[in-house]
């Protein structure tokens, strides 16, 4: 089926492009979410008349998303979960959990905006991509720990590793042990 994209769709195309997609993808995803129109002659004419308006709306939304992305830059959220001695979680951390934590931090994000390819199943610090707009995304650090103290230790170990600081004696052994658990 050929469709006209009403907004940028990742790995598919830009706004206004006529692309060929599978029927199910168009019927079940693109059309219901108003991301595309069927590529008929009538719809092509309608799109051309509304193109300037759609591009203006897209620019406004992109500008808003960029402002939020600047505020969210460097955001780190901590999630406390029960885990075994090896650091394996008893459950898992899903996109919904991360979205709820980001919302609690003061930013409105839905679970569909959190790009988590696989659920998080171990204690550690993870970088998760959050799409605020089809063209704007930001990385958020998700710290999964058993307690507040462990979360603080993981953040401290992460910053030391980022800075490239070399540790001596017991501190080095502790940092290596925490890194192995992550």
The model's pLDDT over 80-108, given as tens digits with 9 standing for 90+, comes to 999 998 989 998 999 999 999 999 999 98
- Per CATH, domain 75-181 is 3.10.430.100: yes
**Helices and strands counted in the chain (H then E):** 5, 9
Q: Is the dihedral of CA 48, 49, 50, 56 positive or negative?
A: positive
Global confidence as pTM? 0.74
CATH 3.10.430.100 intervals, the chain: 75-181
CATH 3.40.5.10 intervals, the chain: 2-70
- Residue 8 φ/ψ, nearest 5 degrees: -70, 130
Assign a CATH topology to domain 2-70.
Answer: Ribosomal Protein L9; domain 1 (3.40.5)
Tokens of 69: 């992305």
Give the model confidence (pLDDT) of 37-73 as tens digits: 999 999 999 999 999 898 899 899 999 999 999 999 9
Question: What proportion of the chain, given as a percentage, has pLDDT over 90?
Answer: 50
């Amino acid at each position: 089926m050929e469709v006209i994209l009403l907004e940028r769709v990742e790995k598919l195309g830009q706004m206004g492009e006529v692309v060929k997609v599978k029927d199910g993808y168009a019927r079940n995803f693109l059309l219901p979410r108003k991301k595309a129109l069927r590529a008929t002659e009538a719809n092509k004419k309608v799109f051309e008349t509304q193109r300037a308006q759609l591009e203006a709306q897209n620019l406004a939304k992109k500008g808003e998303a960029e402002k939020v992305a600047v505020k969210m830059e460097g955001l780190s959220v901590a999630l406390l979960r029960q885990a075994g001695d090896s650091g394996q979680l008893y459950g898992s951390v899903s996109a919904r959990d991360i979205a709820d934590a980001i919302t609690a931090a003061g930013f409105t994000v839905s679970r569909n905006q959190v790009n988590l390819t696989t659920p998080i199943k171990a204690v550690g610090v993870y970088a998760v991509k959050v799409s605020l707009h089809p063209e704007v995304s930001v990385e958020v650090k998700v710290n999964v720990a058993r307690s507040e103290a462990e979360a603080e230790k993981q953040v401290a170990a992460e910053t030391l590793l980022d800075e490239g600081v070399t540790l001596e004696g017991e501190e080095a052994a502790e940092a290596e042990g925490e890194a192995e658990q992550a």
